Amino acid sequence: MRVLLVTVGSQGDVQPFVALASRLRGAGHEPVLAAPALYQGLAAAGDVPFVPLDLDMTEVGRAVAGRHGLRHLFAFAKAMGRRAGQVLPGVSACATVPGQADVVVHHPVLPIGQHLAEMLGVPAVVASPSPALVPTREFPSAAWPCAIGLPALLSRASYPAARYLTGAWCRREVDGWRRSTLGLGRRPGRHDPLGDPSVTVLHSFSRHVVPRPADWPATAHVTGYWHTRSDPAWAPPRRLADFLGTGDPPVYLGFGSMPVDSPAALAEAITMAAKRTGAKFVVHCLDPELRRRLAGDSERMLMVRQVPHDWLFPRTAAVVHHGGAGTAGAAAAAGRPQVIWPFGIDQHFWAARMTGLGVAVPAGPVRTLTGDRLARAVDQAISDLRVSDLAQDLARRVRAEDGTGQAVAHLERLARGASVAARA
């Protein structure tokens, strides 16, 4: 089976695709991953053939800086849509890959994979890290940060709105690309990743975190997490090994690729939390000002740029993060208490979900983060035995799943069905 995987976004959007592609190769299939050029190293580590896409997520980060909640969501969707033109040449190149593809698996954050599948005449599969697209009465779309707690009727209505938003700012450009490059005309529902009701949707999270809604169609699946495994030969830098080997396990704090509004205020909050709780902190830190402000306390603070979550998180006392689907899943698999300060998009959904499961302590939107609130949340996360026990129980159930194996099995069945239909 030849599988073309197309994804854009942050590292948390790309890593699950690398995990799936690596598993496909292990099962004897032929995957090709198209993703932002920045992540070529991730693909190489997984021994996955790679097609680079021209998309700089730092530009998107600047576009959403200082925005939260709905403003963050709309700014993100607009920034991604307006950069579709940068991505389309690389996606077009995928059509010339020898052997092309038997199926196209794509991330819905920029819904262009379905057009490529249409041109190739093969099934398109949506791979979503969050329950944001397939309607249910049980909860509203994870894409809407303000929708938690909506009544059932409005819950279902939130899903078509989320699907419309994914490509709202690139429709004209994509239509031109369809016509001039792919040779495709207009058709109803062409910009909706679920415009064809028979489209398979693979959700790359655990049913123990989000149980599959009873009113979902048979085409929507919950596979379990698609986690990459760090290289067994990977060794931590000496400073990190020494920091972890001295005293109690540290608290991890990192907000992924989210831009920090005020590095000075965040540094003050972390410093206050460390003093009040007595905890050490490993801080995932890309902002130079934040690094500078925290650098003076080497006994309680260590800044890191890139450490595999599956290696680091089990060695921590708690995980403080922004609520990205990938980070929340990695913390769940590690069995560590979480403290989530969401910025926007689906991060509010994951914060509510993990708190509801009892594996995260209540926090709030990142704009409400203060030193006092961070200290109280961290203290509860590292001292509340019930939270710790629930986190470890969830981890046992999550780790027992085979997310990428389930996804491969679904793709194999889909490809066999398409092959039979083609011969008929």
Q: Please, which residues bridge with residue 4 across strands?
A: 32, 104
340-387: pLDDT as tens digits: 999 988 999 999 999 999 999 999 999 999 999 999 999 999 999 999
Euclidean distance between CA atoms 316 and 414, whole angstroms:
41
Phi-psi region of 122 (alpha: psi -120 to 50; beta: other; left: phi over 0): beta
Residue position matching structure tokens 């929507």: 220
Local structure of residue 100 (DSSP, 8 states): -
227-238: pLDDT as tens digits: 988 877 889 999
User: Cβ(84)–Cβ(174) under 8 Å?
Assistant: yes
pLDDT of residue 259: 82
pLDDT of residue 420: 62
What is the average per-residue pLDDT within 232-247? 92
143-196: pLDDT as tens digits: 988 767 777 778 888 999 999 988 888 899 999 999 999 999 999 999 999 999
Strands (E), 183-311: 200-203, 220-222, 251-254, 281-284, 301-304
Please name the residue ranges forming H helices in 128-249.
152-166, 171-177, 238-245
What is the average per-residue pLDDT within 269-297? 92
104-152: pLDDT as tens digits: 999 998 889 999 999 999 999 999 999 999 999 999 999 988 767 777 7
pLDDT of residue 286: 82
**Residues near 413 by Cβ (< 8 Å), separated by ≥ 6?**
none
Q: How confident is the model at residue 424 (pLDDT cuts 50, 70, 90)?
A: low
> What pTM does this model have?
0.94
Nearest to 68 by CA among 259, 257, 267: 259
The 3-state secondary structure of 283-328, one letter per residue: EECCCHHHHHHHCCCCCCEEEECCCCHHHHHHHCCEEEECCCHHHH
